[in-house]
Amino acid sequence: MFNCLIPDHDAKVFNPPSAIEPNTVDHVVDIAFGGFRRWDAIYFLHIAEHGYTYENTLAFFPLFPLIVRGVANSALYLLQYCMSYASVLLVSATIVNVVCFVLSAMTLYELGRVVLGSDVLAYRAAQFYCINPASVFFSAAYSESCYAMLTFRGMLLLERNCWILSAVFFALSGAARSNGLVNIGFLLHRACRDMVAWILANEKMSFSRFGLNMCRISLLLLLCVVPFVAFQYHAHTVYCNQLASYQDLPEHVRQYGNKLGYRMPYMGLSVWCSSWLPLSYSYIQSSHWNVGFLNYYELKQIPNFLLAVPMVTLCISMIGLYVYKHKSHCVFTGLLAQNDTEHVTENQYHSLPKTCFVYVVHTAFLLTFGIFYMHVQVVITFAFYFVS
């Protein structure tokens, strides 16, 4: 469910050529921002410029490329007269990510104030989020900044009981990265917690009121799933359509795809098209990036595992400490009413309050999935969401 930070497992480095020769301004842009155009960034920028021209690009979700393209075609439109469109997109991606990163840090601080009940601890969490070594990916042309901003905002709105807006931001996060689907758990847990609170308060709930509540949460959950389903449907219409024309691809894009043996649109049905559930994403992750249960456990990957040990240890320690401090609360899956007096104070930084239960579970789930299914390097880049 996660994009990876390495090239395809067949050692083909994705680096499609440009349609035009770079000029002096392009070289200046490359010197200033070229470091942000590496690995997955090349995929995102290619999608922003040409769309999903190769099957392996389907591993990257469309919201970030759409935003980058939108900014490049509006606020930065005049730059297209002095540099190539690819350079404009790179500048656009950098600006978008810096803005999203600042907004995500501000949102995380506000979320920390609500959940932790401590301005000082919330500020320190936001500081750690900003100075984490993996934060370099917030500036590169990756979707991390956009995803973090949308996810944190959705969490904050849910804490403020703004259910609809929260679901909208969670849905948008699912359009930025596949793991946005996991955010559905926040809505489900809050719905269950409210239901338990009504029962414990001995409030009478009519059948019609119960039905309305179930319809509301069902619609919100459906909203969160729509972007993922829509993207899979788009992939199906492009790569599983035998009647479409092949002439839409630019010549240099087609030549590069033929050279590396990439499957392009309208080349006949892809393998996953005939599956009982034709999802391109799971097929692309397993076939192009070798994502699967324990697939990454090889002797040559030991250095990468050692690199991930500090962050994994920090996450496990946080989870273990929380469970130790709040055993009974964990037994009841955090569904009992929270006690505001148990929020962390300035002298209790060593423990998290009970209000963090759903966030701790979120951490445990993604960490477990990351260790057993993902490329371990990715744990480093998303773990800052957890520990901050």
Per-residue pLDDT tens over the stretch 280-297: 888 888 887 777 777 777
377 — pLDDT class (breaks 50, 70, 90): low
pLDDT digits (tens, 9 = 90+) for 317-350: 888 898 888 888 888 887 776 554 444 444 455 5
One-letter amino acid identity for 291?
A: V
Per-residue model confidence (pLDDT) at position 19: 76
Neighbours of 302 (CB within 10 A): 10
**63-67, 79-83, 189-193, 238-242: segment of lowest average pLDDT:** 238-242
Looking at per-residue pLDDT, the higher value among 334 and 91 belongs to: 91
- Mean pLDDT calculated for residue range 91-112: 94
Q: What pLDDT shows up at residue 202?
A: 67
Higher pLDDT, 200 or 106: 106
pLDDT of residue 150: 96
Q: In a 3-state reduction of DSSP, which class is residue 182?
A: helix
Structure tokens at 294: 């324990």
Residue 111 has pLDDT above 90, yes or no: yes
Confidence of residue 99 (pLDDT cuts 50, 70, 90): very high
Average of pLDDT values for 14-27?
85
Q: What is the DSSP letter of 264?
A: -
Q: What is the pLDDT of residue 307?
A: 77
Helix (H) or strand (E) holding 362: helix 357-373
Q: What is the mean pLDDT of the chain?
A: 83
Average pLDDT over residues 168-194: 92
Residues 146-158, mean pLDDT to the nearest whole number: 95
CA angle 92, 96, 101 (to 5 degrees): 150
Residue 245 has what pLDDT? 56
pLDDT for res 3: 46
Structure confidence at residue 12 (pLDDT): 62
Q: Where are the beta strands (DSSP E) in 29-180?
A: none
In this predicted structure, what is the pLDDT of residue 7? 41
Residue-wise pLDDT tens digits, 257-266: 888 888 888 7
Mean pLDDT of all residues in 47-65: 92
Task: Tell me the DSSP string of 152-195.
Answer: HHHHHHHHTT-HHHHHHHHHHHHHH-GGGGGGHHHHHHHHHHHH
Measured between alpha carbons, how far is 195 from 278 in angstroms, rounded to an integer?
36
Residue 175, pLDDT score: 94
Min mean pLDDT across 80-94, 135-149, 269-283, 340-354 is at: 340-354
Which range has highest mean pLDDT (102-106, 237-241, 257-261)?
Answer: 102-106
pTM flag (> 0.95): no
More confident residue, 269 or 155: 155
| Region of poorest pLDDT, from 80-94, 217-231, 328-342, 354-368 | 328-342
Per the CB < 8 A criterion, the answer to whether 65 and 47 are in contact is yes
Tell me what pLDDT residue 367 has: 85
pLDDT digits 0-9 by tens, 162-178: 999 999 999 999 999 98
Query: What pLDDT band is residue 8 in, cutting at 50, 70 and 90?
Result: very low
How far is residue 171's CA from residue 151's CA, in Å, rounded to a whole number? 9
pLDDT score, position 306: 82
